[in-house]
Every structure is written in structure tokens, then in C-alpha cells.
Structure 1
Amino acid sequence: MTSDASRIAELADSGVRMIERLRRKAFLPDTRKGLDVRYGIAEAAALLGCSTNRIRMAEDAGRLPQPPATDSGRRAGYTIEELLHMREVLGASPARAPMDQPPIIAVQNFKGGVGKSTVTTHLAHYLAVQGYRVLVVDCDSQATTTTLFGLNPHFNVTREETLYPYLSIDPTQADLLYAVKKTPWPNVDLIPSNLELFDVEYEMAAAGADGGSILATRFRKLKAGLMDLARSYDVVLLDPPPALGTISLAVMQAANALIVPLAATTPDFCSTVQFLSMMEQVIGQLGQAGIDVDYSFVRLICSKFNGNDPAHAMVQQIMEQTFGPALLPVAILESAEISHAAMRMMTVYELDKPIGTARTHKRCRTNLDEALGQVEQLVRRGWGRVSPVSEEALVNEAA
């Protein structure tokens, strides 16, 4: 007779094979994720906060290369790499100053299904489009963020490439540099995860009487390792597990800012309230143990919001009344474009053309820019800066 464990193992193996089939189908011919997004000159100018004329003048003067032409003679548009070069030449880089503290932002909620990994990956790519250097650290053994970056955690990631060799009771790595992987985005790096990262939880549980001191050491070690890496980036994003465990606690202590995604449903609202209550207790307990937690900002963001659903609107009002200014005013709308991109192990920012209608794609992209731009403003405020002022705004102000 086939045991329950054997049947579950068969289901898991079947699922792993299907993930790899989907990945290969999405990334043929080389089965590796690429980045084919290009931006027209008007969109590039908007991103750089300058006029199209300034870009053309820099190209005519040889300060910027001319973009290649298509077969029809039209401009092919600019790649992300070219946009980053344009930012350097035109002095439009948003990079933090050497003395600015790099934000290490945990995107955390103990309730699963709130879009935590979706928010993390879209935020990473939004910031990349804006010109920031971003490090994403997948701290969740379920590895959804790793998958959205185009890696199969079962086939493409080993335990030695995750946080495990650094956080293990018997560590084999003294810093985190070994785990940093390049991604198709020239200004986004990733520390991936897979199921074996959960072994850290087992080791801590088996540590017995010495578990408390080992745990405190791991907390401080993760923070030190991330702060060391953060010097090479503008923003670090952490995607912890959706549960209260060793790694989640370590992430909570290592972060210096917190974003809490929640869906506009009553169960999600209630669960998030419980999460915040638990956070308060845990932070107090950590403080008593001499482990400080200090956040430059704590904000909640409503994800998967359906403006046509009266129940969503009602729960959103409840959230506004409850959380006040801690709730970011622009919610992330539920969109088929996000779901379709996720099926291809991508974000909306990686699509070179709409999957659905052009109108749906534009509405989704505009909403994501507005919602995630709120987090960018929090980052810049922490550096004592506001958004870069465009030439058009300066002209209007002078007039």
C-alpha cells in the first residue's frame, strides 16, 4: 500500500517538474530569463526628469550614443543599461550620497496570500527603472521571489547559494558576498532561496538550552552581513517567511524599515492587526534581550485592491480609519496583467509588450508607478531629499 508520505512526495515531484516546464517555456531558447524592455525618448525623458531636446542635444554632441534604428528607420528605444548611462551623463542619478543610510526594507506580514513577494519584486523593478541600485534578499524557503526572478529554486539554486551557509549553526561563510547573484537587470542583484533554507529553523529548534544565545548571535550576524552588503546599493529589500520563526525574527531585527502589505478583506485586516500586535510584543522582548529594533518608517500598503468590489471599498475605509497616515494612500490594484506576468515568472516592468489589452497594461503600470512611488518618497525623505524636480516644473515655477 502506498503511504501518505509517498503520495505527497509524488505530488511534490510532479509540481517541481511542472515548474521547470513552465520556466523553460517562458525563457526559450536559452532557458534563462532576459530583459527586452525598451523606453521611447519621451518616456526616457520623463524618467530622467529632463526634456527630449536635452537628450537629442547630448546625442548630437556625442555625449550619448545614438539609439539603433529599426528596419523601418524608427528609433528602437533605450534599454535599462542605456538609461543608467544617460543618468550618469546627464547628472540624473537618484543614487544615495555616501553618508546616506541605505534603507533595508522588510516586506513582511505573517498572513500568506497578501502579495508579499509580488510587492517585493515589483518594488525592486520599479526602483531599478528609476535608476536605483537594488539588492533583493529572498529569506523565505518557499522561494516565491526567487521564482519571479526566473530561477527554479529546485534546479537552479543550491543550499550553498542561499543564506544557509551564513546563518547555519556551523557556518561556512563569513560574509554574504558569496550568495549575491546577478539578474537580467543591470542594477538589481538577488540572494536566492530554496526549501533547504528552512534547515536553519530546524537547527535552532535543536539547539536546546543554548538556543537563546545562538539565536541572538544569528540576529546580530544577519544585520551585520546585510549592512556590509548595503554599502554597495541604494536600497535593500528583504522578503521574509510569512510566519513567526527564527528567520523572520532575524529579518525584523536586521531591517531598518518595514512595509506591510495586506489585502482589502476582513480576514486579512484582522490577521494584520494580530501581526502588528505580535510585532509589538516581539520587539519588546528583543529589546529586553539587548537586541535593538529601529525602523525609519513603518507603512502598510493595500494590495490586490478591486475598486469595483463594494466589500473591498468598505474594508479600505476601515483600514484608513484604523491606521491613518501609516496606510499609504494609493493601493495596488488587482490586475490580470500582474497575474499574467507572474505566470511567465516576470513582473509587469519586464514585459516588452502588454499581455492583455494595451489599456489594461497602461492602467496597471500607472497604478504600480504611483503606489510604489510612495515607497520611493519614503526612502528619499530618509535621505533628506524630495523627488528630483523636472525641467518643466522649474520653468512653470519661474513663470
Structure 2
Amino acid sequence: MNSIVSQIGDLAEAGERMIERLRRKAFLPDSRKGLNVRIGIADAAQLLGCSTNRIRMAEDDGRLPSPPTSETGRRLGYSIAELLHMRDVLGASPQRASLDAPAIIAVQNFKGGVGKSTVTTHLAHYFAVQGYRVLVVDCDSQATTTTLFGFNPHFNISREETLYPYLSIDPTQADLSYAVKRTPWPNVDLIPSNLELFDVEYELAAAGSDGQSVLAARFRKLKQGLAELARAYDIVLLDPPPALGTISLAVMQAANALLVPLAATTPDFCSTVQFLSMMDQVLQQLVGAGISLDYNFIRLICSKFDSNDPSHAMIRSIMEQTFGPALLAVPILDSAEISHASLRMMTIYELEKPIGTAKTHKRCRANLDEALGQVEQLVRQSWGRVPPAREEEVFDAAG
């Protein structure tokens, strides 16, 4: 038996070493993930909701610096940081008003393989490109989201840098500010995770007869800690474990919105129905125990959808009949571009150039913008607002 256990340990160590090798290869020369994507003036104008002429005028009169140029004089486009500055100068920031509550969205499904962490990371980067201030909280000890942000949970992250010191039976931190890390994105921060976060589950399970009160205290504490931290952000994205454990329940109670990704397969559909049924029972028990729950919206989003697969179309139709308007109208398409980007520990929004064909990349990006834009609309509706109007729309309406 010991030899089998030792073999599992050897396999785990070999896997961790390979992940570190892949990470170093992806993030050379200094093994730190960077953000080198640049946005052309036409795309920048679309994101800012203005004309390219307005941007050029601001550059001409000195309100905005011109983007760097290549040796041949070609404009290289704007960095994300420069785009954020442009939003401030041109009054195009989508940030919430001070009285608007930050959106705290749990991306949850108990079925593995639905792309939960991939959806979370792409959603974070989508919101970042749109100009929002984003905090991502990796609550899953598998730490896939942490990895996608360029950190190796085994080598780079200690238990003291996760939620553990705040949620443990004997906490050493009074608030969550200690855990916030900067990412390559100037407007996205991360609270990372690693395998040791699972110790919280063990500790609470071992709490004995006092376990129920300890559990309730942890629920209140996570909600309070995230609410305090969220004051500096517009969007908080929570990636909980794909299981009904203590941390998952605490996350569900701390969130004010729920997004459930599910793939267009029969097992995923059936599993998601079971997830919703289980959540209904558990949440009713939490409410009965005096633990408050209040969601601005609950939506399901179909992920990894293959429009060329008849079985996917059939299951998608069943989803629409079952969930009605709770299912977002635009699914996230299955794309080799997303898979290739994930292999490089990146999202589509971080790619400097297409990995596959330009057509495939453009189609993938357009789909993600449309699919994830549905979540942005829900957030803005919760703030009592709609997406900002573009200049052209205002002029057309005036005409």
C-alpha cells in the first residue's frame, strides 16, 4: 500500500514540475506573465463608444498621447493601461456610481469539465477590456483560475496567500486585503488559491458539536470580508469548488449573483438539474437558519457549444424549453482558439495575434464579446443602467 501511495506522490510531483516548465516556457524571459496585447484605433473607438476622429483630435490637442510607432512609422495600437487612461480623459468609464453595489458573481456548477474556470477568467478579462475594475477570487483548491492568471499554485502560492488565514478555525488575518495580488491586467486583481485551501474543509468538518455555529460564522465572515473588499471594485468574480462543501456554500451566500455554466451534453444537463435541485434544498435550509440570500440575477450559460454538432443543438433546445429566459440566449462556442490559448495559460483577450487562422480568432472573439456581454448587461441593469450609448447612436436618434 505504501508503494502505491508513494507512486501517487511521485506522479503528482512530476506533474507539478511539468506545469512549472510549461509556465516558464510560456512566460519567458523572466517567468512572469505579461500583457502585451495592443488595440487598434478602430477597436479602441468601438470600446470607448466614440469615433476615431474624437480620439485623433484628443491626441492632436495633447489631451491624449499618441500610441507608439514601429520603425516604419506604423501605429502599434494602445495598451490596456492606455485604454483606461483614454476612458478617463474622454469620459467613457463604465464604472459603477458610488451608491451602486458591486456585482459579486459566483460562477458555479458541481459538474466538472464545464469550463467554469475558463469562463471565470475570460469574463474577468472581458470586463477589464470594457474598463471595469475587477477582483477575481479563486476559492477552488484545484486553483485552475490561479494558474490561468500566470501563478503556479504549487511553487508560487503559499497557504498564507490564499483565503485560508481568513477562514480557518484559528484565523491570523482580520480582513482580506492581505491576499490581493496584482495581475498583468492593470484593472484586474486576484486572490489566489492552492491545494492547502482545502484544509478549511477539514477543519470545519472536525469542529465537532460546535460545527454548525462555526459554519454559520464562516458564512457571515466571507460575505463581510468580500463586501468590504468589493468597495474598490465594480465586479467581483468568485470561482468556488465544484462540490457542495463549506467553501462553496459560503461563496453562494457571499455572492449577489449566480452564473451557472453548462455544456450541451446530456450528462451535463442532467448534472446541472441535480445541482439546481441540491442548491434549492441547501439554500432553503440556510434561509431557515437565518442566513440571508439575495441574488440580483441567476442565469445559466451554455459553454463549449459546437454549432455543427446536431446533438449539441438538440440539448441546447432542451435547455431552452427547460430554463426559458434564465438561459442566456448566446452560448459560448467551442473553439480551438480557446483551447490553444489555455495551453499557453492565456485567454483570447490576452493574445497578441491569432494562434490559428485569423478568421477563427475573429469569430471566437466576437462570440465571446457577445456571450459575455450578456452578463455585463445584467450587471448594468442591477445598477439601474443600460450599456453606454455610442456617439453614432446618439446622433442617429437626434436626427
Could you say whether these structures have the same fold, taking a TM-score greater than 0.5 normalized by the shorter chain as the test? Answer: yes
Matching of residue 363 in structure 1 with residue 363 in structure 2: yes
Superposed CA offset, 1:234-281 (max 9, x none) = 000000000000000000000000000000000000000000011111
Name the structure 2 match of 1:173: 173
Task: Tell me the distance in 1 between the aligned counterparts of 2:67 and 2:3.
Answer: 62
Counterpart code for 2:234? D
Cα-to-partner distance string for 1:199-248 (whole Å, 9 max, x where unaligned): 00000111010100000000000000000000000000000000000000
Give, as a single letter, the amino acid of the residue that structure 1 aligns with 2:363: R
In 1, the alpha carbon distance for the partners of 2:355 and 2:37 equals 14
Report the counterpart of residue 259 of structure 1 in structure 2.
259
Asked whether 1:383 is paired with 2:386, we answer no
In 2, distance between residues paired with 1:144 and 1:205?
24
Which residue is 1:337 aligned to?
337
Partner Cα separation in structure 2 for residue 89 and residue 255 of structure 1: 33
Q: Which residue of 1 aligns with 2:66?
A: 66
TM-score, scaled to structure 2:
0.99
2:153 alignment partner, SS class: coil
Q: Counterparts in 2 of 1:235-254, with a 5 A limit?
A: 235-254=235-254
Distance 1:387 1:137 in 2: 25
The match for 1:349 is 349
> Secondary structure at 2:232's aligned position in 1?
coil
Q: Which residue of 2 aligns with 1:300?
A: 300
Equivalent residue number for residue 15 of structure 2: 15
Instruction: Give the alignment of 1:1-399 within 5 angstroms.
Output: 3-399=3-399
Distance in 1 (alpha carbons) for counterparts of 2:294 and 2:281 = 14
CA distance in structure 2 between the aligned counterparts of 1:389 and 1:219, rounded to whole angstroms: 39
- 1:2 Cα deviation from its structure 2 partner: 6.0
Q: Following the alignment from structure 2 to structure 1, what is the Cα–Cα distance between the partners of residues 77 and 202? A: 50
What is the alpha-carbon distance in structure 2 between the residues aligned to residue 150 and residue 47 of structure 1?
26
Which letter maps to 2:211? Answer: G
Mapped to 2, the partners of 1:57 and 1:25 lie a distance apart of: 42
Q: Distance in 2 between matches of 1:61 and 1:211?
A: 65
- The one-letter code of the counterpart of 1:234 is D
Deviation at 1:397, TM superposition (A): 1.6
The CA deviation at 1:87 is: 0.2
More deviation in 351-360 or 2-11? 2-11
Query: Matched residues in 2 for 1:257 and 1:285: separation?
Result: 19
Aligned pairs, how many? 399
Q: Structure 1 unaligned runs (5+)?
A: none
Which letter does structure 1 place at the counterpart of 2:139?
A: C
In structure 2, distance between residues paired with 1:254 and 1:385: 23
CA–CA distance in structure 2, aligned partners of residues 186 and 69 of structure 1? 22
Q: Secondary structure at the match of 1:261?
A: strand
Cα separation, 1, equivalents of 2:398 and 2:291: 51
Which whole-Å CA distance do the structure 1 matches of 2:287 and 2:2 have between them? 50
Deviation at 1:41, TM superposition (A): 0.5
Give the drift of 1:398: 2.0
Q: Give me the whole-angstrom Cα distance separating, in 2, the residues matched to 1:256 and 1:385.
A: 17
Structure 2 runs not aligned, ≥5 long: none
Rounded Cα–Cα distance in structure 2 between residues aligned with 1:74 and 1:346: 27
TM-score, with normalisation over the residues of structure 1? 0.99
Provide the identity percentage. 80
Deviations 1:159-199 (A, max 9, x none): 00000000000000000000000000000000000000000
CA deviation map 1:102-141 (0-9, x unaligned): 0100000000000000000000000000000000000000
- 2:249 maps to a residue whose letter is L
Distance in 2, Cα, partners of 1:8 & 1:28: 30
Report the 3-state secondary structure (helix = DSSP H, G, I; strand = E; otherwise coil) of the residue aligned with 1:3.
helix
Residue type of the partner of 1:383? Answer: W
Q: After TM superposition, which residue ranges in structure 1, 4 or more long, deviate above 3 angstroms?
A: none
Structure 2: distance between partners of 1:383 and 1:205: 38
For residues 132 and 372 of structure 1, what CA distance do their matches in structure 2 show?
14
Q: Report the RMSD for the aligned CA atoms in angstroms.
A: 0.7
